[in-house]
Structure 1
């Protein structure tokens, strides 16, 4: 049975159930469960383990890779100012990718079993369980495939010596994104900038899901007209 007649049994692993919701999945996924519990996704302990990550694993795993890449460009003859500039540019490119992933991939409409399951594991789970701190950062095992693909694509787009620094800057941007996202859910910012992006992100979760796709910055929301209105942000606090 699927669609509106199907009910997810929360007492059992849920990842392979949600696909049966059919065209009712989107409505289900965006009705948050506001508890700090952490539901089980898979029967397999191995698969379950790979859905959970502590926040500090992200910088511990990715920052050494980022700095190694940046050092490669320096060792290939680029000056320190050039390497810093390329790294900053790579970080800016990531901020655009962050916006595009969140808007067009993470919030795609799905109805089929496979698409619903994929969407849930990728992002729907976060909207359904927004206080599940064990799943607020992305496991390195899940990101590694995309990271390898991007490294290959950077080789097509950039020269051999500029690719590492641009890529390393993007990796740093990704780390900033994931840690910022975790903090927005679990921290109590006093800085005005962080307060503003927290309000926008909470509005995205609890008020209007088709606004406020930027996590670390509202830059691309301003450019593409998806910035939450002050009224929506206030109600979404």
Structure 2
């Protein structure tokens, strides 16, 4: 007997349904539904609330933390120029983290129930509903949790006085990334480079989803050979 294929009911909370898709999940999640109204994730109202984030919460919460980090390094004896250079280096490192996470974690292939469920929460929901404005940026609570291992990693490879500035630069890179990502979906740029970057990112969503993993730039796609074909990424008429 051939098992009947599972069908997701879009009118019901999705998170605990998608795992049942099994090997069908990858195909299903990469068939986008273009609607500004996002689906319901959980039946529980508290869990549902925690999945929704206004884009401006990201700079509002994290830019003061960035300033505090930079101030800490200045108070420990570094000049503004030194802190500025460390901040720029932190942003640069973030761009590599951004690319790595997007390519190797956010686009990991899954087929088991819990792997599908976790992937949907992490990134699959964004590909299924790319215009859901309340799930385009990372929830602050989740970001705060992830900041702990990243802080410890920076502390491991740097000195006590340079750790805050390097971490602050990386955190600023994250803020730029999330705000840029939101703008690429909901903004209407009229000139380059923003216009070209929007085209580049939407190409990743709607045409060739295994290429073009950069959000804030295509630098690492060039370096690692995941640049979309020119006819796909180039300007459209």
The two structures have a TM-score, normalised by structure 2, of 0.96
**In 1, are the aligned partners of 2:13 and 2:42 still within 8 Å (CA)?**
yes
CA 1:21–1:69 in 2, change beyond 3 Å: closer, same or farther?
same
Shift of 1:76: 0.2
Name the residue aligned to 2:124.
Answer: 124
Distance in 1, matches of 2:181 and 2:36, equals 16
Which string of whole-angstrom CA distances, capped at 9 and with x for unpartnered residues, describes residues 167-189 of structure 1?
00000000000000000001111
Structure 1 spans left out of the alignment, 5+ residues: none
Which string of whole-angstrom CA distances, capped at 9 and with x for unpartnered residues, describes residues 190-215 of structure 1?
23111111111011000000111000
Shift of 1:231: 1.2
Name the residue aligned to 2:167.
Answer: 167
1:77 aligns with 2:74: no
Shift of 1:31: 0.3
Name the residue aligned to 2:88.
Answer: 88
CA 1:73–1:34 in 2, change beyond 3 Å: closer, same or farther?
same
Name the residue aligned to 1:192.
Answer: 192
Name the residue aligned to 1:19.
Answer: 19
Name the residue aligned to 1:57.
Answer: 57
Distance in 1, matches of 2:90 and 2:9, equals 43
Alignment of 1:128-143 (within 5 A): 128-143=128-143
Shift of 1:154: 1.4
1:233 aligns with 2:224: no
Structure 2 spans left out of the alignment, 5+ residues: none
Distance in 1, matches of 2:119 and 2:59, equals 25
Give the number of equivalent residue pairs: 235
Name the residue aligned to 2:28.
Answer: 28
Distance in 2, matches of 1:236 and 1:179, equals 25
